[in-house]
Amino acid sequence: MEALEALTTRVSAGKLVDPAPDDAVLAQLFAAADRAPDHGRLKPWRFLVIRGEAREALGQLMADALARREPNAPEALLEKEHGKAFRAPMIVVVVARPIESPKVPEIEQVVACGAAATNILVAAYALGFGGVWKTGAPAYDEGVKKGLGLFATDHIVGFLYLGSVPSPLPPVPRSILADYVQEWRP
Ligand SMILES: Cc1cc2nc3c(=O)[nH]c(=O)nc-3n(C[C@H](O)[C@H](O)[C@H](O)COP(=O)(O)O)c2cc1C
């Protein structure tokens, strides 16, 4: 798919199934991430690939985190939380690992990681895969971060759920760009 077509038609996938991107596709996705705009080329990102049985441990981390946040959460809710790790055959956790820099504030580094995440999603879409970016409470949970082996100073920018789409994704209606874009004149 042409780059501009991918950029202007990408849509999140509601359902994701096997097969997940293989290692060759993943390499392309991370090559795309690596070309995200990044002030100072600090590469303040880390990507954790979670697939197959490893999703079980992620589901447990998410359920344990919910149980800590909500000690009275019913079992069904904990199971639902656990099941989130199985919404797709693969999850790429996009992590911002800020680097001390006199020139590049942390927010710019987190934004660069957001750009890298977007590149991954658009590249996956262009290669015929589906994806969706999720965060929710687990992204901001210290226990989840610790369980994933991250530093307390890291930020989980997103869980990118990736896989194949079982049926074609519906096109998204075009926005009225004039609602968001205006020529600025002094
Ligand atoms: C930082 C970030 C976090 C998000 N977190 C969630 C989330 O936790 N749950 C969710 O349903 N959508 C989340 N979204 C939005 C979806 O990924 C998606 O973009 C949105 O539903 C619009 O669909 P579209 O991408 O097809 O336009 C998040 C998006 C961003 C950029």
pLDDT per residue as tens digits for the range 153-185: 999 999 999 999 999 888 888 899 999 999 999
- Tell me: the pLDDT tens digits for 82-128? 999 999 999 999 999 999 999 999 999 999 999 999 999 999 999 99
Residue 171: predicted pLDDT: 85
Domain 3-179: give its CATH code.
3.40.109.10
Per-residue confidence at 12, pLDDT binned at 50, 70, 90?
A: very high
Cβ contacts of 104 within 8 Å, gap of 6 or more: 39, 40, 42
Query: Which 3 state secondary structure label does DSSP give 183?
Result: coil
H-helix segments, 35-95 = 54-69, 75-83
Distance 25 CA to ligand 1 centre (A): 23
Please answer whether residues 159 and 91 qualify as being in contact, where contact means their C-beta atoms are separated by less than 8 angstroms. Answer: yes
Task: Return mean pLDDT, the chain.
Answer: 97
> Rounded to the nearest 5°, which phi and psi values hold at 11?
-145, 150
Q: Is the CB of 135 under 6 A from ligand 1?
A: yes
From 135, 155, 160, 165, the mutation candidate for ligand 1 (largest count of ligand atoms within 8 A of CB) is: 135
Q: Which atom of ligand 1 is nearest to the CA of 11?
A: 26
User: What is the distance between the alpha carbons of residues 90 and 50, in angstroms, rounded to a whole number?
Assistant: 6
